[in-house]
Amino acid sequence: MNQRALDKEQYQPAFIEHIANIITHGVWIFPSILGMNELYKRSQDNAQVLSAIVYGITLISLFCISTSFHCVFYCQNQRTLKDILHRCDRGMIYIFIAGSYFPWLTIEKLPQEGWASHMRWHYFLGMMELTLGGILYVFGVLFFKCDGVIPFAHAIWHIFVSLAAYAHYYAILNYLYPLINMQTSE
């Protein structure tokens, strides 16, 4: 671990921390592609197809942009590209949040009165996994905020993000794209 950053400066990770930051998100790119493909294969209607594509692209993009940013940050010779990718990396978090909501809001049938009056919001299938994912994201933020204080804090944050994303993917796969639908249609 390198020295802590001074006020208003960005922490400069050590070589091994750069590698850990690249690996901890880079390894999830291919599984994310496979995950999107699985959602697409299980799709039974246009809403599921669209949701698989939107969610899958945001999931893949999250890991691709993060990995690209950390690769360029490691090389440290493309300041402008690094700054652009850093903004994209941060912005992708918000896009991924929207992409994660998309399947729940498009596949689930809601009453005509609208989703605000829908009492199933008190409990619905997948709530446990979504709650677990939320808890993992929150604990991960604690490490994100300790970048430069705790060794490998950013890589640990990436691990929490990956686990939380997996918990949410698991909920989407099992509750919005159940295998039972595929077996009855064959």
DSSP for 15-33, written as a single string: HHHHHHHHHHHHTTHHHHH
- Residue 116: the pLDDT is 58
Q: Does residue 44 sit in helix, strand or coil?
A: coil
- Residue 145: the pLDDT is 85
Handedness of CA 63, 64, 69, 70 (dihedral sign): positive
Q: Does residue 65 sit in helix, strand or coil?
A: helix
- Residue 42: the pLDDT is 96
8 Å CB contact between 168 and 100: yes
Q: Which of 114, 115, 107 is nearest to 172 (CA)?
A: 107
Task: Classify each residue of 167-182 as buried b or exposed e, where b means 16 or more C-beta atoms within 10 Å of its C-beta.
Answer: bbbbbbbebbbeeeee
Length of the chain: 186
pLDDT digits (tens, 9 = 90+) for 76-114: 778 899 899 999 999 999 999 999 999 998 987 766 666
- Sequence ranges of the domains in the chain: 15-109+125-185
CA contacts within 13 A on the Cβ side of 53: 5
8 Å CB contact between 63 and 29: yes
- Residue 14: the pLDDT is 83
Which of 72-76, 154-158, 162-166 shows the lowest mean pLDDT across its residues? 72-76
- Residue 133: the pLDDT is 93
Is 118 annotated as belonging to a binding site?
A: no
Separation between Cα atoms, residue 5 and residue 145, nearest integer Å: 13
pLDDT average, residue stretch 49-73: 96
If pLDDT is split at 50, 70 and 90, which confidence band does 179 have?
A: confident
- Residue 13: the pLDDT is 81
Handedness of CA 120, 126, 131, 134 (dihedral sign): negative
If pLDDT is split at 50, 70 and 90, which confidence band does 15 have?
A: confident
Is 86 annotated as belonging to a binding site?
A: no
Say how many C-beta atoms besides its own lie within 10 A of residue 88's C-beta.
16
